[in-house]
Amino acid sequence: MNKSTLIALALAPLFFTACVAPQPTARVTSSGGPGIAQAQQERYDGPKARIAVNKFVYKAARGHRRIGAGMADMLNTALFHSNRFIVLDRQDHGDIMREQDLGASGRVTQGSAAPIGQMEGAELLVSGAVTAFSPDASGAVGGIGVPLGGGAGVGVGGGSSNAYIAIDVKVVDARTSRIVAAVTVEGRATDYVSGFGGAVGGVPLPFGLAQYANTPMENAVRVCIVKAVDYIASQTPARYYHVNQ
């Protein structure tokens, strides 16, 4: 075996590692209490907590504030599909109130008008902030990620371009204004993985994020939302899970 062959064999593992991109990952960078994986260990059909997504503020240096609104929409969807919450609409509640006011005006046929005084109140309010948004962050992002499925993507050897997003999420008791859970979640992906699973896997990207469809940024956003819902479900105190459908 000549010298050139030995060098080629020695470099082969490095070339393979460079060409295979890792799965989309997310991590919780500040937490406490039980592990976030407990929320999805088995099917849940018990009492739920009344929750509403209040707003998402966009604080990242890059991108547009519409991205924050899109993240709030996706979080609403993921909370609903988690089966742990009764999710109340606070993004379009103005339309609901106008419809009820129209019914009370007498201009709607009797029996078909939406009654006033039956809107449910939220016990928990979720608000968040997008603190970092980098569709093409070069180099690896620090920290150990937690794979959430989807399979590995194939990249181009010799380096990588990582999509990276970070969000701060807090859950507040609507009655006392106390924060009951707060977390920073990071999501990243090196390559686009089609058929990504999770609670928002099959939901199209909302306006403001649609331009990142079929890119690593889409996977980073989705994995970040899924991990945020896992954390919210596991860290919400048990006393809020008391409303039966």
Domain assignment of residue 66, yes or no: yes
Which pLDDT score is estimated for 244?
83
Question: The pTM is what?
Answer: 0.70
pLDDT confidence of residue 152: 27
Q: List the CATH number of the domain containing 39.
A: 3.40.50.10610
β-pairing, 179-189 with 25-28?
Answer: antiparallel
For the chain, list residues with pLDDT below 70: 1-45, 92-95, 137-161, 194-202, 245
Let me know: does 117 contact 150? Beta carbons within 8 Å.
no
CA angle 53, 87, 186 (to 5 degrees): 45
**pLDDT value, residue 201:** 62
Is 104 inside any structural domain?
A: no
| pLDDT at residue 116 in the model | 77
pLDDT, position 203: 72
In a domain, 105, yes or no: no
In a domain, 75, yes or no: yes
How many Å is the Cα radius of gyration of the chain?
Answer: 22
From start to end of the chain, where are the E strands? Answer: 20-21, 25-28, 49-58, 85-87, 124-138, 146-147, 153-154, 161-173, 179-189
Answer yes or no: is 169 within a domain. Answer: yes
Residues across the chain: 245
Decide if 113 is inside a domain.
Answer: no
Please give the residue range of the domain that contains residue 184: 24-89+123-151+159-240
Please provide the distance, in angstroms rounded to a whole number, between the alpha carbons at the two ends of the chain.
72
Total domain count, the chain: 1
Has residue 53 been placed in a domain?
yes
